[in-house]
Amino acid sequence: MMKTNSSIFQFAIIFILILEIRIQLSEESDFLVNRSKTGLFHIPKDLSLKTTILDISQNYISELQTSDILSLSKLRILIVSHNRIQYLDISVFKFNQELEYLDLSHNELGRISCHPTVNLKHLDLSFNAFDDLPICKEFGNMSQLEFLGLSATQLQKSSMLPIAPLHIRKVLLVLGDTYGKKEDPESLQKLNTESLHIVFPTRKEFSFTLDVSVSTAVSLELSNIKCVPDGNGWSYFQNVLSKLQKNSRLSSLTLNNIETTWNFFIMLLQLVWHTSIEYFSISGVKLQGYLDLRDFDYSDTSLKALSIHQVVSNAFSLPQSYIYKIFSNMNIQNFTVSGTHMVHMVCPSQISPFLHLDFSNNLLTDIVFKNCRNLIKLETLSLQMNQLKELASIAQMTNEMKSLQQLDISQNSLRYDENEGNCSWTRSLLSLNMSSNILTDSVFRCLPPKVKVLDLHDNRIRSIPNPIMKLEDLQELNVASNSLAHFPDCGTFNRLSVLIIDSNSISNPSADFLQSCHNIRSISAGNNPFQCTCELREFVQSLGQVASKVVEGWPDSYKCDYPENYKGTLLKDFHVSQLSCNTTLLLVTIGVAVLIFTVTVTALCIYFDLPWYLRMVFQWTQTRRRARNTPLEELQRNIQFHAFISYSGHDSAWVKSELLPNLEKEELRICLHERNFIPGKSIVENIINCIEKSYKSIFVLSPNFVQSEWCHYELYFAHHNLFHEGSNNLILILLEPIPQYSIPSSYHKLKNLMARRTYLEWPKEKSKHGLFWANLRASINIKLREQAKKIDHT
Does the pLDDT value for residue 706 go beyond 90? no
Half-sphere exposure for 642 (CA within 13 Å, toward CB) = 21
CB-CB contact of 18 with 53 (8 Å): yes
Q: How confident is the model at residue 683 (pLDDT cuts 50, 70, 90)?
A: confident
* Percent of the chain at pLDDT exceeding 70: 85
Q: How confident is the model at residue 632 (pLDDT cuts 50, 70, 90)?
A: low
Does the pLDDT value for residue 736 go beyond 70? yes
Q: How confident is the model at residue 319 (pLDDT cuts 50, 70, 90)?
A: confident
| 585/578 Cα distance (integer angstroms) | 8
Tens of pLDDT, residue by residue over 399-412, are: 999 999 999 999 99
Does the pLDDT value for residue 745 go beyond 90? no
Rounded to the nearest 5°, which phi and psi values hold at 295? -75, 145
Angle between helices 610-628 and 583-607 (to 10 degrees): 70
Q: What is the pLDDT of residue 784?
A: 42
Q: What is the pLDDT of residue 615?
A: 65
Q: Is 565 helix (H, G, I), strand (E, B) or coil?
A: helix
Q: Considering only CA atoms, which of 374, 377, 378 is closest in space to residue 356?
A: 378
Tens of pLDDT, residue by residue over 723-735, are: 444 456 778 888 8
Cα dist from 774 to 10, 220, 249, 641, 644, whole Å: 125, 139, 144, 19, 18
The DSSP result for 290-353, as a single string, is: ----------S----EEEEEEEEE--S---HHHHHHHHHT---SEEEEESS-----PPPSS---
The backbone region for 216, taken as left when phi is positive above 0, alpha when psi lies in -120 to 50, beta otherwise, is alpha
CB-CB contact of 124 with 102 (8 Å): yes
| 162/136 Cα distance (integer angstroms) | 7
**Helix, strand, coil % in the chain, rounded to nearest 5:** 35, 20, 50
Q: What is the mean pLDDT of residues 110-121?
A: 84
Q: What is the pLDDT of residue 500?
A: 95
CB-CB contact of 414 with 390 (8 Å): yes
- With a CB cutoff of 8 Å and minimum separation 6, the contacts of 29 are none
Q: Is the peptide bond before 563 cis (omega within 30 degrees of 0)?
A: yes
CA angle 688, 739, 749 (to 5 degrees): 30
| 317/788 Cα distance (integer angstroms) | 141
Tens of pLDDT, residue by residue over 161-211, are: 999 999 999 999 999 988 888 788 888 988 999 999 999 998 888 988 888
Does the pLDDT value for residue 791 go beyond 60? no
Angle between helices 610-628 and 683-692 (to 10 degrees): 50
Does the pLDDT value for residue 794 go beyond 50? no
Q: What is the mean pLDDT of residues 607-629?
A: 64
Please give the DSSP secondary-structure letter assigned to residue 659: I
Tens of pLDDT, residue by residue over 531-569, are: 988 888 888 888 777 777 888 888 899 999 988 888 888
Q: What is the mean pLDDT of residues 621-645?
A: 67
Q: What is the pLDDT of residue 479?
A: 96
Domain map of the chain by residue range? 462-576, 581-618, 639-779
Q: How confident is the model at residue 627 (pLDDT cuts 50, 70, 90)?
A: low
Tens of pLDDT, residue by residue over 23-74, are: 444 444 448 899 999 999 999 988 888 999 999 999 999 999 988 888 898 9
Q: Considering only residues 458 and 32, tell me which one the structure prediction assigns the higher pLDDT.
A: 458
CATH 3.40.50.300 fits 639-779, yes or no: no
Q: What is the pLDDT of residue 354?
A: 96
Q: What is the 3-state secondary structure (H, E, C) of 709-731?
A: HHHHHHHHHHHCCCCCCCCCCEE
pTM given for the model: 0.71
* Percent of the chain at pLDDT exceeding 90: 41
Does the pLDDT value for residue 392 go beyond 80? yes
Does the pLDDT value for residue 468 go beyond 60? yes
| 5/199 Cα distance (integer angstroms) | 12
- Looking at domain 462-576, which of 3.30.2320.80, 3.80.10.10, 3.40.50.2300, 3.40.50.1100 is its CATH number? 3.80.10.10
Tens of pLDDT, residue by residue over 254-295, are: 999 999 999 999 999 999 999 889 999 999 999 988 888 889
Query: What is the rounded average pLDDT for all residues in the chain?
Result: 84
Tens of pLDDT, residue by residue over 209-236, are: 888 988 899 999 999 999 887 778 888 8
Tens of pLDDT, residue by residue over 497-527, are: 999 999 999 998 887 777 778 888 999 999 9
Please give the DSSP secondary-structure letter assigned to residue 488: P
